[in-house]
Amino acid sequence: MRDALNKGAVIKLGGQSRKDLGDWYFEPTILTNVNSSMELSHQEIFGPVIALTPFITDDEAVYMANDSNFGLSASIWTENRKQGLKLAGRIQAGSVLVNDLQIHIAQTEAPYSGYKHSGLGVSHGPWGVMELVRYKYINSDRTGLSKILKTISKPLVNNDIWWFKYNKNLTDSFRVFAHFLHGDTLLKRVKSAPSVLKAIFRKDYL
């Protein structure tokens, strides 16, 4: 806070330690005239301090909020809840609350995590449990199923699409499957279906 005061910040409320209460007590404090040149704007403040920085546009506010190496939690206060939710998606923080604060810490069903230097991993909910799990994937071809498929189409079994060698026909097939599985509209997926069948029952490309 000393750096901010030296660079022009103004204490509007509080600003003093309370030694009469103990070594770890500090008055609730509000600072104005805060700008991005101050360390206060880029650090995590684990204390009752609010630094006020004016902004003109939403884009400017988002930029200032993200202009830090930390991103644990954030709050957006607005009368326009829809706009608040839209802005929340742009804030680089593990949790963003609209018109509220801190309640997520007690919501054990929701993930609690941070961006950037604000911590690694996730606690709470199934995500926290899965932090303790080691994943392993095991794959084994079903030989019986392969024999059945060979009676339908040998290339379907003998030419796995991801195997070397690669050529334009194979890369085109990958593209077709991508459109079929992940097309942004149902119409695009339906249109790609014939090409998918052609790719599955293709002739030997290799």
Residue 119 confidence (pLDDT): 84
CB 195 within 8 A of CB 176: yes
- Average pLDDT of the residues of the chain: 86
Give the residue extent of every domain in the chain.
2-128, 143-200
Q: Model pTM?
A: 0.64
**58 vs 197: which has the higher pLDDT:** 58
- For the cut 90, the answer to whether the pLDDT of residue 30 exceeds it is yes
| pLDDT grade for 7, boundaries at 50, 70 and 90 | very high
67-103 burial, b at 16+ Cβ within 10 Å, e below that, comes to ebebbbbbbbeeeeeeebeebbeebbbbbbbbeeeee
Residue 206 confidence (pLDDT): 46
Residue 164 confidence (pLDDT): 65
- Span 2-128: which CATH code? 3.40.309.10
